[in-house]
């Protein structure tokens, strides 16, 4: 029932990706070479330092994401704030790092709708999969916050646009409860309007 509600709300918001599923043999979805991706140890070390948490706690969250999606070829380190009373808003900023080189400043903002109440401020460490170049991050990524789960005090959910998958891991202060659907729009500059 929740899945049907989420799909209906995505359709209303116009954020459902109407592309058919891509076969695993498609070169665009083929795994990147090992030299272009981060190892689990590299991510645990970076995330532990960023979150200022013990590596054991971070390793549990990272392990769960790696089991689902393998090795990322980029990640975003940043901070964000969000709040909701049924309708919510989220704003954040950070830096995207790609294993094959380069970094770029990134901002994100987006609305949500659902059974959601509260506010929070978070540190965000986002694993990025199948990013062909830095500019490919600058688009809208739908997500379902109801899929949010906690591992060792770190919240994790998923967003996807085409073949690019984002796995934001968050830890922070505040209280926010419920489930919602929405999207985050990643941009080159901060925007006041989240659309």
Binned at pLDDT 50, 70 and 90, residue 1 comes out as very low
Residue 150: phi, psi to the nearest 5?
-115, 135
Q: Which CATH number fits domain 2-16+33-187: 3.50.50.60, 2.30.30.40, 3.40.109.10, 2.40.128.480?
A: 2.40.128.480
Better-predicted residue by pLDDT, 122 or 127: 127
* pLDDT tens track for 58-117: 998 899 999 999 999 999 999 998 887 877 788 999 999 999 888 999 999 998 877 666
What global pTM score does this model have? 0.77
Domain boundaries, the chain: 2-16+33-187
């Amino acid at each position: 029932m929740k899945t049907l509600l989420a799909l209906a709300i995505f359709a209303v918001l116009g954020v459902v990706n109407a592309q058919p599923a891509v076969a695993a043999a498609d070169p665009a979805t083929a795994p990147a070479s090992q030299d272009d991706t981060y190892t689990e140890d590299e991510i645990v070390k970076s995330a532990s330092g960023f979150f200022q948490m013990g590596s054991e706690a971070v390793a549990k969250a990272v392990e769960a994401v790696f089991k689902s999606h393998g090795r990322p070829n980029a990640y975003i380190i940043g901070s964000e704030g969000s709040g909701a009373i049924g309708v919510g808003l989220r704003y954040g900023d950070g830096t995207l790092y790609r294993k094959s080189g380069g970094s770029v400043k990134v901002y994100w903002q987006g609305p949500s709708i659902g059974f959601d109440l509260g506010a929070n401020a978070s540190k965000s460490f986002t694993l990025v999969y199948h990013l062909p170049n830095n500019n490919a991050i600058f688009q809208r990524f739908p997500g379902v916050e109801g899929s949010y789960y906690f591992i060792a005090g770190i919240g994790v959910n998923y967003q996807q646009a085409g073949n690019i998958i984002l796995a934001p891991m968050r830890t922070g202060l505040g209280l926010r409860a419920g489930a919602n659907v929405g999207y985050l729009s990643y941009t080159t500059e901060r925007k006041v309007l989240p659309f």
